[in-house]
Structure 1
Amino acid sequence: MPDVSKMKKPDVKVVLLGDMNVGKTSLLHRYMDRKFKETISTIGGAFFLKQWGPYNISIWDTAGREQFHGLGSMYCRGAAAVILTYDVTNWQSLAELEERFLSLTDTALQDCIYALVGNKADLTDQQAQLAQDPDGQPQDQTESRDRTDTLLSACPTPPDSPASLSGVHKQVTREDAVALYGRILHYKGLDEKSSLPADKMCFETSAKTGFNVDAMFETLFDLVLPSILRKRNENQRSPTVDLEEYREVGSKRSRSGCC
């Protein structure tokens, strides 16, 4: 967590949403601290401030527990990007995004960007298990994605996918995520042809190995730059009032009007 006394004003907000135990906090710690923390439960919400070039991006982590569900819309207020996170080994975690969490994004910006992120890919994908290089930087998932696209087909119910080396079954395919992304656009009243394509906004990651984590966050940061620039331009055009100057003028007027 940043030191509030030294914290700079954020230029834009990014929010992580998703059910408990999908790894939202672990993803954030992997990206910000370059570490993996396996068992972390967020109470209410927490945030990090990321310096992205000359810009400051606040990344909000929200609790997935039912008792904190109502806070989600508050954290999403004014968000420029929302990361909808699920567990690739848990079909229900994908369904919960549509059933419980999508409506919370109604308070986000009208042009908010949405990304679908399937975490825990290391449990089902061999490349994700070995993705971290000696320098701690995750490798790109393009080759794995192409390979997966040729092997898996979309299915409306949890698939019976082969077990990975860890013995865990993959219950959510990339096609399932792409289908949900299309429904999100429909819910938001957005045209798929003029919106960001699903193949750019659907990711599979591993907070444990770092697989695709940097690529996911940094893709979003690049995409929210127009929102940052627009906000800064609006702030420059907005009239401001110097309260100290106003007090001094008011004080002089009061003294000059005395008998």
Structure 2
Amino acid sequence: MPDVSKMKKPDVKVVLLGDMHVGKTSLLHRYTERKFKDTTSTVGGAFFLKQWGPYNISIWDTAGREQFHGLGSMYCRGAAAVILTYDVTNWQSLSELEERFLSLTDTANHDCIYAIVGNKADLTDPKAQLSPNSDSFSEDQTDIVEDRTEPQVLSACPTPPASPTSLSGVVPRKQVSREDAMALYGRILRYKGLDEKSSLPADKMCFETSAKTGYNVDALFETLFDLVLPSILRKRHENHESPTVDLEDCRGSGKRVRSSCC
């Protein structure tokens, strides 16, 4: 067990929210351990401390089960970024983000950044079925996907597909389009009272990922880390302006400070 007194203090907090079985824990494992794990439902919450350059970022994985719902608000307190996660083959998981989880972010920072992430893209998208390390996956393919500049039409009230499966009843069908996720992002900005024109654009903050193959997982986390950098620098500046006393350093000095009261 690591020495708690030696653990580094996080500079900023990132929180994953979403319904159970959407793959939040698997996304975290894929990014931090570089592999896919079949996981059980998270109980309460857990966090991982990621060193990113000279900074320390705590990534909180929260439970999606109803009985742990109330804890989400506590975990979101002071968050600089929230990853709202859904399953691309499950329309209800997207709906739950707005109905159950969005209100939990009221305790996050006022300038919190929101990302909408559709996981399990490998079930419906051939591009996501390829591992980034695969011989058939090239940087040119990634550039083609990310440099697309086709206009996106946001659906004000999208309608879910009638069936989650194909005609064969075996292969899952994609129930949530990227446009649906972008429309949700716009509603989140309005819920937060933010100006859409001055906020980060929806096409940059909506991701489709696969924890199983690693598709877009690094891009998701690294994009967010870049975006929360101003929060880190501001927090460090505030701490520099109002320094606190480290009690461990005082104890380690071996000196007693005499009281100077008169």
**Cα displacement (A) at 1:150:** 8.8
- Return the letter of the residue paired with 2:109: L
- Tell me the alpha carbon deviations over residues 114-141 of structure 1, each in whole angstroms, 9 at most, x when there is no partner: 0000000000000101143249x99675
**Cα displacement (A) at 1:156:** 1.3
The alignment partner of 1:182 has SS state of helix
Among 159, 162, 176, which residue is 2:161 paired with? Answer: 159
Taking a change above 3 Å as real, the CA distance of residues 151 and 124 of structure 1, as seen in their structure-2 partners, is: farther
Taking a change above 3 Å as real, the CA distance of residues 193 and 151 of structure 1, as seen in their structure-2 partners, is: closer
Moved more, 194-203 or 166-175: 166-175
TM-score by structure 2 length? 0.86
CA–CA separation in structure 2 for the residues paired with 1:14 and 1:153 = 27
1:232 alignment partner in structure 2: 236
Q: Work out whether 1:220 is the aligned partner of 2:220.
A: no
Taking a change above 3 Å as real, the CA distance of residues 26 and 239 of structure 1, as seen in their structure-2 partners, is: closer
Taking a change above 3 Å as real, the CA distance of residues 191 and 151 of structure 1, as seen in their structure-2 partners, is: closer
Cα RMSD after superposing both structures: 3.2
2:15–2:76 contact (8 Å) kept in structure 1? yes
CA–CA separation in structure 2 for the residues paired with 1:20 and 1:72 = 13
Equivalent residues in 2 for 1:163-242, closer than 5 Å: 163=166, 167-241=171-245
CA–CA separation in structure 2 for the residues paired with 1:143 and 1:3 = 46
Equivalent residues in 2 for 1:33-182, closer than 5 Å: 33-134=33-134, 143-144=144-145, 154=155, 156-159=158-161, 163=166, 167-182=171-186
TM-score by structure 1 length? 0.87
Report % sequence identity. 77
1:126–1:164 contact (8 Å) kept in structure 2? no
**Cα displacement (A) at 1:240:** 3.3
| Uncovered stretches (5+) of structure 2, i.e. residues with no partner | none
1:85–1:118 contact (8 Å) kept in structure 2? yes
**Cα displacement (A) at 1:28:** 0.1
Taking a change above 3 Å as real, the CA distance of residues 152 and 78 of structure 1, as seen in their structure-2 partners, is: closer
Taking a change above 3 Å as real, the CA distance of residues 79 and 167 of structure 1, as seen in their structure-2 partners, is: same
CA–CA separation in structure 1 for the residues paired with 2:154 and 2:188 = 20
Taking a change above 3 Å as real, the CA distance of residues 241 and 209 of structure 1, as seen in their structure-2 partners, is: closer
